[in-house]
Homo-oligomer: A and B are copies of this chain.
Amino acid sequence: MFESAKGLIGRVLAGSILSLGLAVLPAFAADPLPSWNDGESKSAIVDFVTAVSTEGGPDFVAPADRIATFDNDGTLWAEQPMYVQLAFVLDRIKVLAPEHPDWQGTEPFKSALAGDMAGVAASGEAGLLQLLAATHSGMTSVEFTQIVSDWVAKAKHPETGKLYTAMIYQPMLELIRYLKANDFDVFIVSGGGIEFMRPWTEQVYGIPPQNVVGSTIETTFEMRDGGPVLLRGEHVSFIDDGPGKPVGIQTHIGKHPIAAFGNSDGDLQMLQWVTSGPGKRFGGIVHHDDEKREYAYDRKSHFGKLDKALDLAPSQGWQVFSIKQDWKSVHPQ
């Protein structure tokens, strides 16, 4: 839907240029981030983008090297009251339960079916991996893509009743578009499953599958009667979180990005990596401090814990985006 809107804006803009001359351009360029309040965060973003894209300027970066990476959960869309992918897991367990009568008496499935999150948590990492294996493996990549697409098209946030894809952050969407308009190549680098994100990121954020980096499950090629398939196994082959993020960036992109945006300690190493090195660089942290319009959490949160990165932000020159102060609106209207 956003792509269509973008296309529409493009056509209207082109029409305006043709009918009104170029007068419309400065007005459009003057506010590329309409959902951001004027202030330090917005200025820092605009100053950075202007500096690296001003040809002949001291901080100019060639378009091919303008790479920006974004975390997803808590940075581009809501991660409370739980990660969206965990909500997907719990929904899938319910859908699959009739085929697995034994789950009624076996943990962690019993707790998951009862919606008892404390019980699920008590099963620890081993329990979570069991839930993940039961819902994310044993099918082909094509089948999994369909399952995710069907779910994301109708699953709703438990508190707002909106589609999860409507729980994205409008200011961050504008930031992605602003960067792309200035020839940045924009990537998602998320701890979430790569094939859980790819079915919808292009439509929702304008970020195509090849620009999505995430955690992966071991996948094997198999020739079947109906043709070749890629089969999703149970073994998690790469965790794209914490120190895994710079590794995921190196493997998938092979270039050193110049801007990174995150919201938790899971993004700490990505911020360290991206903002190191010569030339102008940008590190941005979304700080969830708005209990009225969204959520307020940081150092003690189960999901999206932000502690060390928040401490390091001032000395590292990372810009902390306050949702309360910096964002005019939170979600698309």
Contact = CB atoms under 8 A, between A and B. Distances in A.
Interface string A229-268: 0100000000000011011001111110000000000000
A273 interface: yes
B210 A253 contact: yes
A272 interface: yes
A31 to B, nearest CB: 29
Interface residues of A, number: 33
A286 interface: no
A37 interface: no
A104 B174 CA distance: 61
Contacts of A141: 250
Interface string A203-235: 000001110100010011101000110100000
A208 B195 CA distance: 24
B185 A228 contact: no
B208 A221 contact: no
Contacts of A185: 210
Nearest to A145: B254
Given A209-B253, A223-B272, 8 more contacts: A141-B250, A185-B210, A209-B255, A210-B252, A210-B255, A221-B247, A221-B269, A228-B272
Q: Please give me the 10 A-B residue pairs with the lowest Cβ-Cβ distance, nearest first.
A: A209-B254, A221-B243, A227-B276, A221-B246, A198-B254, A210-B253, A228-B272, A228-B273, A219-B247, A228-B276
